[in-house]
Structure 1
Protein backbone atom coordinates (compact mmCIF):
# COMPACT_ATOMS: atom_id res chain seq x y z
CA UNK A 1 0.00 0.00 0.00
CA UNK A 2 1.32 3.43 -0.94
CA UNK A 3 0.44 5.09 2.36
CA UNK A 4 2.22 8.38 1.57
CA UNK A 5 -0.06 8.79 -1.48
CA UNK A 6 -3.17 7.91 0.55
CA UNK A 7 -2.21 10.33 3.32
CA UNK A 8 -1.44 13.02 0.77
CA UNK A 9 -4.92 12.58 -0.74
CA UNK A 10 -6.51 12.86 2.72
CA UNK A 11 -4.11 15.62 3.81
CA UNK A 12 -3.46 13.88 7.10
CA UNK A 13 -1.41 11.06 8.56
CA UNK A 14 -3.31 7.91 9.45
CA UNK A 15 -3.14 5.73 12.59
CA UNK A 16 -0.60 2.92 12.54
CA UNK A 17 -3.11 0.42 13.93
CA UNK A 18 -5.35 1.09 10.92
CA UNK A 19 -2.50 0.43 8.51
CA UNK A 20 -1.71 -2.85 10.28
CA UNK A 21 -5.40 -3.81 10.30
CA UNK A 22 -5.84 -3.28 6.56
CA UNK A 23 -2.58 -5.15 5.90
CA UNK A 24 -3.86 -8.13 7.88
CA UNK A 25 -7.37 -8.18 6.42
CA UNK A 26 -8.49 -7.75 2.84
CA UNK A 27 -11.42 -5.36 2.38
CA UNK A 28 -14.45 -7.08 3.82
CA UNK A 29 -17.03 -7.35 6.56
CA UNK A 30 -16.70 -8.20 10.26
CA UNK A 31 -19.54 -10.15 11.90
CA UNK A 32 -21.64 -9.69 8.76
CA UNK A 33 -22.22 -6.08 9.84
CA UNK A 34 -19.12 -3.88 10.25
CA UNK A 35 -16.97 -2.58 7.41
CA UNK A 36 -13.64 -0.76 7.71
CA UNK A 37 -13.00 1.56 4.78
CA UNK A 38 -9.98 0.63 2.70
CA UNK A 39 -8.03 2.64 0.09
CA UNK A 40 -7.92 -0.49 -2.09
CA UNK A 41 -11.67 -0.98 -2.32
CA UNK A 42 -13.12 -0.37 -5.77
CA UNK A 43 -16.55 0.57 -4.36
CA UNK A 44 -16.86 4.32 -3.78
CA UNK A 45 -18.98 3.51 -0.72
CA UNK A 46 -16.16 1.71 1.09
CA UNK A 47 -13.07 3.39 -0.36
CA UNK A 48 -11.32 5.50 2.28
CA UNK A 49 -10.62 8.28 -0.21
CA UNK A 50 -13.81 7.95 -2.28
CA UNK A 51 -16.49 10.60 -2.90
CA UNK A 52 -18.94 8.99 -0.46
CA UNK A 53 -16.66 10.07 2.37
CA UNK A 54 -16.80 13.69 1.20
CA UNK A 55 -20.58 13.55 0.96
CA UNK A 56 -20.89 12.11 4.47
CA UNK A 57 -18.65 14.82 5.91
CA UNK A 58 -20.65 17.51 4.12
CA UNK A 59 -23.91 16.16 5.58
CA UNK A 60 -22.44 16.10 9.11
CA UNK A 61 -21.22 19.68 8.72
CA UNK A 62 -24.66 20.76 7.52
CA UNK A 63 -26.42 19.03 10.43
CA UNK A 64 -24.00 20.66 12.86
CA UNK A 65 -24.55 24.13 11.43
CA UNK A 66 -28.34 23.71 11.48
CA UNK A 67 -28.41 22.22 14.97
CA UNK A 68 -29.90 18.94 13.76
CA UNK A 69 -28.37 15.84 15.33
CA UNK A 70 -25.11 17.72 15.82
CA UNK A 71 -21.85 15.79 16.12
CA UNK A 72 -20.12 15.63 19.52
CA UNK A 73 -17.10 17.49 18.12
CA UNK A 74 -16.43 20.01 15.37
CA UNK A 75 -17.25 18.16 12.11
CA UNK A 76 -13.93 19.32 10.67
CA UNK A 77 -12.32 16.86 13.09
CA UNK A 78 -14.32 13.89 11.77
CA UNK A 79 -12.99 11.55 9.07
CA UNK A 80 -15.10 8.52 8.00
CA UNK A 81 -13.27 5.24 8.53
CA UNK A 82 -16.00 2.60 8.46
CA UNK A 83 -19.68 1.80 8.26
CA UNK A 84 -22.39 -0.74 8.96
CA UNK A 85 -25.03 -2.54 6.96
CA UNK A 86 -27.64 -0.41 8.77
CA UNK A 87 -26.15 2.81 7.46
CA UNK A 88 -24.19 4.06 10.48
CA UNK A 89 -20.79 5.62 9.86
CA UNK A 90 -17.65 5.21 11.94
CA UNK A 91 -15.45 8.29 12.18
CA UNK A 92 -11.99 9.03 13.42
CA UNK A 93 -11.96 12.05 15.74
CA UNK A 94 -8.81 13.70 14.40
CA UNK A 95 -7.67 15.21 17.66
CA UNK A 96 -4.81 15.82 17.94
CA UNK A 97 -4.39 16.23 14.20
CA UNK A 98 -0.65 15.63 14.41
CA UNK A 99 -1.10 12.53 16.59
CA UNK A 100 -3.30 10.04 14.70
CA UNK A 101 -2.41 7.15 17.00
CA UNK A 102 -4.38 8.93 19.75
CA UNK A 103 -7.55 9.37 17.67
CA UNK A 104 -10.82 8.09 19.14
CA UNK A 105 -13.78 6.63 17.26
CA UNK A 106 -17.25 8.20 16.92
CA UNK A 107 -20.36 6.46 15.58
CA UNK A 108 -23.47 8.24 14.34
CA UNK A 109 -27.00 6.92 14.08
CA UNK A 110 -28.16 6.17 10.55
CA UNK A 111 -31.61 7.65 10.92
CA UNK A 112 -31.54 9.42 14.27
CA UNK A 113 -29.76 11.88 16.56
CA UNK A 114 -27.54 9.62 18.65
CA UNK A 115 -23.75 9.64 18.63
CA UNK A 116 -21.40 7.29 20.49
CA UNK A 117 -17.72 7.97 21.24
CA UNK A 118 -15.24 5.17 21.91
CA UNK A 119 -12.04 6.02 23.77
CA UNK A 120 -9.65 3.99 21.66
CA UNK A 121 -8.47 3.33 18.11
CA UNK A 122 -10.39 1.53 15.39
CA UNK A 123 -8.76 -1.85 16.08
CA UNK A 124 -9.57 -1.60 19.78
CA UNK A 125 -13.11 -0.57 18.83
CA UNK A 126 -13.60 -3.67 16.68
CA UNK A 127 -12.24 -5.99 19.36
CA UNK A 128 -14.28 -4.40 22.14
CA UNK A 129 -17.54 -4.40 20.15
CA UNK A 130 -17.16 -7.88 18.72
CA UNK A 131 -16.25 -9.52 22.05
CA UNK A 132 -19.22 -7.85 23.73
CA UNK A 133 -17.23 -5.56 26.03
CA UNK A 134 -18.56 -2.39 24.41
CA UNK A 135 -22.22 -1.92 23.52
CA UNK A 136 -22.89 0.73 20.90
CA UNK A 137 -26.49 2.00 21.30
CA UNK A 138 -26.92 2.32 17.54
CA UNK A 139 -25.94 -1.31 16.89
CA UNK A 140 -28.32 -4.28 17.25
CA UNK A 141 -28.20 -6.05 20.63
CA UNK A 142 -27.62 -9.34 18.86
CA UNK A 143 -24.39 -8.21 17.19
CA UNK A 144 -21.90 -10.03 19.46
CA UNK A 145 -24.08 -13.14 19.38
CA UNK A 146 -23.78 -13.41 15.61
CA UNK A 147 -20.13 -14.41 15.73
CA UNK A 148 -17.01 -12.49 14.81
CA UNK A 149 -16.20 -14.03 11.46
CA UNK A 150 -14.54 -11.93 8.77
CA UNK A 151 -15.84 -12.22 5.23
CA UNK A 152 -13.70 -10.78 2.41
CA UNK A 153 -15.75 -8.77 -0.04
CA UNK A 154 -15.79 -8.77 -3.82
CA UNK A 155 -14.47 -5.21 -3.57
CA UNK A 156 -17.41 -3.58 -5.29
CA UNK A 157 -20.34 -5.38 -3.68
CA UNK A 158 -21.26 -3.12 -0.73
CA UNK A 159 -23.60 -0.21 -1.39
CA UNK A 160 -24.91 1.20 1.90
CA UNK A 161 -27.41 4.05 1.90
CA UNK A 162 -25.78 7.42 1.39
CA UNK A 163 -26.90 10.33 3.56
CA UNK A 164 -29.65 12.28 1.82
CA UNK A 165 -28.89 15.58 0.21
CA UNK A 166 -30.65 18.26 2.23
CA UNK A 167 -32.07 21.16 0.23
CA UNK A 168 -31.47 24.66 1.62
CA UNK A 169 -34.21 26.09 3.80
CA UNK A 170 -35.15 29.71 4.46
CA UNK A 171 -34.41 30.16 8.17
CA UNK A 172 -36.64 33.23 8.20
CA UNK A 173 -39.56 30.97 7.36
CA UNK A 174 -38.70 28.70 10.29
CA UNK A 175 -38.39 31.65 12.69
CA UNK A 176 -41.75 33.04 11.57
CA UNK A 177 -43.41 29.64 11.99
CA UNK A 178 -41.82 29.16 15.42
CA UNK A 179 -43.03 32.53 16.77
CA UNK A 180 -46.51 31.89 15.39
CA UNK A 181 -46.56 28.57 17.25
CA UNK A 182 -45.32 29.82 20.60
CA UNK A 183 -41.59 29.06 20.33
CA UNK A 184 -38.91 31.54 21.36
CA UNK A 185 -36.20 31.89 18.75
CA UNK A 186 -33.34 34.38 18.39
CA UNK A 187 -33.48 36.96 15.63
CA UNK A 188 -30.29 35.58 14.16
CA UNK A 189 -27.84 32.74 14.71
CA UNK A 190 -28.51 29.04 15.16
CA UNK A 191 -32.11 27.91 15.46
CA UNK A 192 -32.53 25.54 18.44
CA UNK A 193 -32.61 21.90 17.37
CA UNK A 194 -35.98 21.22 19.01
CA UNK A 195 -37.53 24.14 17.09
CA UNK A 196 -36.09 22.91 13.81
CA UNK A 197 -37.35 19.39 14.45
CA UNK A 198 -40.83 20.66 15.34
CA UNK A 199 -40.93 22.70 12.13
CA UNK A 200 -39.84 19.70 10.04
CA UNK A 201 -42.50 17.51 11.65
CA UNK A 202 -45.11 20.16 10.90
CA UNK A 203 -44.02 20.27 7.27
CA UNK A 204 -44.30 16.49 6.99
CA UNK A 205 -47.85 16.70 8.29
CA UNK A 206 -48.88 19.27 5.67
Structure 2
Protein backbone atom coordinates (compact mmCIF):
# COMPACT_ATOMS: atom_id res chain seq x y z
CA UNK A 1 0.00 0.00 0.00
CA UNK A 2 1.22 3.51 -0.77
CA UNK A 3 1.98 5.48 2.40
CA UNK A 4 -0.42 8.29 3.34
CA UNK A 5 2.28 10.95 2.94
CA UNK A 6 3.15 9.86 -0.59
CA UNK A 7 -0.52 9.45 -1.55
CA UNK A 8 -1.24 13.04 -0.46
CA UNK A 9 1.81 14.32 -2.31
CA UNK A 10 0.78 12.47 -5.45
CA UNK A 11 -2.73 13.94 -5.32
CA UNK A 12 -1.33 17.45 -4.79
CA UNK A 13 1.11 17.16 -7.67
CA UNK A 14 -1.48 15.69 -10.04
CA UNK A 15 -3.81 18.61 -9.30
CA UNK A 16 -1.00 21.07 -9.93
CA UNK A 17 0.14 19.46 -13.16
CA UNK A 18 -3.41 19.32 -14.50
CA UNK A 19 -4.10 23.03 -13.92
CA UNK A 20 -0.78 24.86 -14.38
CA UNK A 21 1.38 25.34 -17.48
CA UNK A 22 4.65 23.52 -17.95
CA UNK A 23 7.97 25.18 -17.01
CA UNK A 24 6.86 25.37 -13.38
CA UNK A 25 8.46 24.49 -10.04
CA UNK A 26 6.23 22.57 -7.63
CA UNK A 27 6.66 22.38 -3.87
CA UNK A 28 6.65 19.14 -1.93
CA UNK A 29 7.26 18.05 1.65
CA UNK A 30 8.25 14.57 2.80
CA UNK A 31 8.07 13.26 6.35
CA UNK A 32 11.24 12.16 8.10
CA UNK A 33 11.56 8.38 8.55
CA UNK A 34 13.84 6.08 10.52
CA UNK A 35 16.38 3.63 9.14
CA UNK A 36 14.09 0.78 10.22
CA UNK A 37 11.20 2.32 8.28
CA UNK A 38 13.52 2.70 5.31
CA UNK A 39 14.42 -0.99 5.43
CA UNK A 40 10.91 -2.34 5.98
CA UNK A 41 9.18 0.11 3.63
CA UNK A 42 11.44 -0.62 0.65
CA UNK A 43 10.52 -3.56 -1.54
CA UNK A 44 13.88 -3.60 -3.31
CA UNK A 45 17.30 -2.36 -2.17
CA UNK A 46 20.33 -2.52 -4.43
CA UNK A 47 23.81 -1.19 -5.05
CA UNK A 48 24.05 0.07 -8.58
CA UNK A 49 25.53 2.39 -11.18
CA UNK A 50 23.54 4.82 -13.30
CA UNK A 51 23.87 3.98 -17.00
CA UNK A 52 21.60 6.65 -18.47
CA UNK A 53 19.29 9.52 -17.52
CA UNK A 54 16.59 10.51 -20.01
CA UNK A 55 13.69 12.95 -19.66
CA UNK A 56 10.53 12.46 -21.71
CA UNK A 57 7.28 14.36 -22.04
CA UNK A 58 4.69 11.86 -20.82
CA UNK A 59 1.61 14.03 -21.13
CA UNK A 60 0.44 17.48 -22.27
CA UNK A 61 1.61 19.02 -19.00
CA UNK A 62 3.91 16.37 -17.58
CA UNK A 63 7.54 15.27 -17.85
CA UNK A 64 9.19 12.21 -16.30
CA UNK A 65 12.87 11.36 -16.05
CA UNK A 66 13.88 7.73 -16.53
CA UNK A 67 17.06 6.60 -14.76
CA UNK A 68 18.45 3.24 -15.89
CA UNK A 69 20.82 1.56 -13.43
CA UNK A 70 23.07 -1.47 -13.61
CA UNK A 71 22.34 -3.68 -10.59
CA UNK A 72 25.69 -4.56 -9.04
CA UNK A 73 24.40 -6.22 -5.86
CA UNK A 74 20.95 -6.90 -4.39
CA UNK A 75 20.59 -6.22 -0.68
CA UNK A 76 16.84 -6.84 -0.32
CA UNK A 77 14.24 -8.33 -2.64
CA UNK A 78 14.50 -9.90 -6.08
CA UNK A 79 14.75 -8.61 -9.63
CA UNK A 80 15.04 -10.73 -12.80
CA UNK A 81 17.12 -8.33 -14.92
CA UNK A 82 20.64 -6.91 -14.70
CA UNK A 83 19.33 -3.36 -15.15
CA UNK A 84 16.40 -1.46 -13.66
CA UNK A 85 14.75 1.79 -14.77
CA UNK A 86 13.49 4.19 -12.10
CA UNK A 87 10.92 6.83 -13.03
CA UNK A 88 10.98 10.29 -11.41
CA UNK A 89 8.41 13.06 -11.88
CA UNK A 90 10.01 16.13 -13.47
CA UNK A 91 12.78 16.93 -15.89
CA UNK A 92 13.54 19.03 -18.95
CA UNK A 93 12.67 18.36 -22.60
CA UNK A 94 13.76 21.05 -25.04
CA UNK A 95 12.70 24.39 -23.60
CA UNK A 96 10.08 22.79 -21.33
CA UNK A 97 10.92 22.18 -17.69
CA UNK A 98 8.97 20.54 -14.90
CA UNK A 99 10.65 20.63 -11.48
CA UNK A 100 9.52 19.35 -8.10
CA UNK A 101 11.37 20.69 -5.07
CA UNK A 102 13.12 18.05 -2.94
CA UNK A 103 13.33 15.60 -5.84
CA UNK A 104 16.98 14.91 -6.56
CA UNK A 105 17.43 12.72 -9.62
CA UNK A 106 20.50 10.44 -9.70
CA UNK A 107 23.23 11.65 -12.04
CA UNK A 108 24.55 9.83 -15.11
CA UNK A 109 27.49 7.65 -14.04
CA UNK A 110 26.61 7.89 -10.36
CA UNK A 111 27.15 4.90 -8.07
CA UNK A 112 24.93 4.41 -5.07
CA UNK A 113 22.65 2.35 -2.86
CA UNK A 114 18.98 2.80 -3.73
CA UNK A 115 15.92 1.95 -1.62
CA UNK A 116 13.04 1.35 -4.06
CA UNK A 117 9.61 1.58 -2.46
CA UNK A 118 7.71 -0.48 -5.06
CA UNK A 119 8.62 -2.40 -8.20
CA UNK A 120 5.06 -2.17 -9.57
CA UNK A 121 3.56 1.22 -8.71
CA UNK A 122 4.41 4.39 -10.59
CA UNK A 123 5.05 7.11 -8.03
CA UNK A 124 6.15 10.72 -7.88
CA UNK A 125 9.52 9.51 -6.54
CA UNK A 126 10.47 5.80 -6.75
CA UNK A 127 12.75 5.79 -3.69
CA UNK A 128 11.31 5.36 -0.21
CA UNK A 129 11.46 8.62 1.70
CA UNK A 130 12.74 10.35 -1.44
CA UNK A 131 16.34 11.50 -0.76
CA UNK A 132 16.30 9.50 2.48
CA UNK A 133 16.43 6.35 0.35
CA UNK A 134 19.18 7.65 -1.93
CA UNK A 135 22.84 7.14 -0.98
CA UNK A 136 25.83 7.74 -3.24
CA UNK A 137 29.21 5.96 -3.27
CA UNK A 138 32.53 7.76 -3.62
CA UNK A 139 36.05 6.33 -3.56
CA UNK A 140 38.53 8.16 -1.30
CA UNK A 141 42.16 8.88 -2.17
CA UNK A 142 43.15 5.36 -1.03
CA UNK A 143 40.52 3.68 -3.22
CA UNK A 144 38.15 2.75 -0.38
CA UNK A 145 34.52 3.17 -1.45
CA UNK A 146 32.55 5.20 1.07
CA UNK A 147 28.87 5.92 1.57
CA UNK A 148 27.48 9.45 1.17
CA UNK A 149 24.07 11.10 1.19
CA UNK A 150 22.40 12.04 -2.08
CA UNK A 151 24.10 15.45 -1.67
CA UNK A 152 27.52 13.79 -1.22
CA UNK A 153 27.80 14.44 2.51
CA UNK A 154 29.80 11.73 4.34
CA UNK A 155 27.65 9.26 6.31
CA UNK A 156 29.75 8.37 9.34
CA UNK A 157 27.30 6.10 11.20
CA UNK A 158 23.89 4.47 10.90
CA UNK A 159 21.74 3.24 13.76
CA UNK A 160 18.37 1.55 14.06
CA UNK A 161 15.42 1.86 16.42
CA UNK A 162 16.84 -0.71 18.84
CA UNK A 163 20.06 1.33 19.14
CA UNK A 164 18.38 4.46 20.41
CA UNK A 165 15.93 5.51 23.10
CA UNK A 166 12.38 4.68 22.06
CA UNK A 167 9.97 7.65 22.07
CA UNK A 168 6.61 7.43 23.75
CA UNK A 169 3.50 6.57 21.71
CA UNK A 170 2.43 10.20 21.89
CA UNK A 171 5.77 11.38 20.52
CA UNK A 172 5.66 8.87 17.68
CA UNK A 173 2.51 10.50 16.30
CA UNK A 174 4.37 13.74 15.63
CA UNK A 175 6.60 13.53 12.56
CA UNK A 176 8.97 16.22 11.35
CA UNK A 177 9.58 17.02 7.71
CA UNK A 178 12.67 15.48 6.19
CA UNK A 179 15.83 17.44 5.45
CA UNK A 180 17.11 14.67 3.19
CA UNK A 181 18.43 12.07 5.64
CA UNK A 182 16.61 9.49 7.75
CA UNK A 183 16.69 9.36 11.54
CA UNK A 184 19.62 7.16 12.50
CA UNK A 185 21.91 8.49 9.75
CA UNK A 186 24.81 10.54 11.13
CA UNK A 187 26.13 13.02 8.58
CA UNK A 188 29.18 15.27 8.66
CA UNK A 189 28.99 18.57 6.82
CA UNK A 190 32.74 18.97 6.31
CA UNK A 191 33.58 16.55 3.53
CA UNK A 192 37.21 17.69 3.32
CA UNK A 193 38.02 16.50 6.84
CA UNK A 194 35.62 13.54 7.22
CA UNK A 195 35.37 10.26 5.37
CA UNK A 196 32.13 8.34 5.05
CA UNK A 197 31.41 4.85 6.31
CA UNK A 198 32.97 2.18 4.04
CA UNK A 199 30.43 0.83 1.57
CA UNK A 200 30.93 -2.78 2.68
CA UNK A 201 30.29 -1.87 6.33
CA UNK A 202 27.13 -0.02 5.32
CA UNK A 203 25.80 -3.02 3.37
CA UNK A 204 26.73 -5.42 6.19
CA UNK A 205 24.82 -3.26 8.69
CA UNK A 206 21.73 -3.30 6.46
CA UNK A 207 21.85 -7.09 6.02
CA UNK A 208 22.40 -7.66 9.73
CA UNK A 209 19.36 -5.56 10.59
CA UNK A 210 17.26 -7.28 7.92
CA UNK A 211 18.20 -10.67 9.39
CA UNK A 212 17.29 -9.44 12.87
CA UNK A 213 13.87 -8.22 11.80
CA UNK A 214 13.15 -11.14 9.44
CA UNK A 215 14.71 -14.22 11.08
Same fold (TM over 0.5): no
- The structure in which a higher percent of residues are strand is 2
Bigger Rg, structure 1 or 2: 1
Give the TM-score normalised by structure 2: 0.28
When normalised by structure 1's length, the TM-score is 0.29
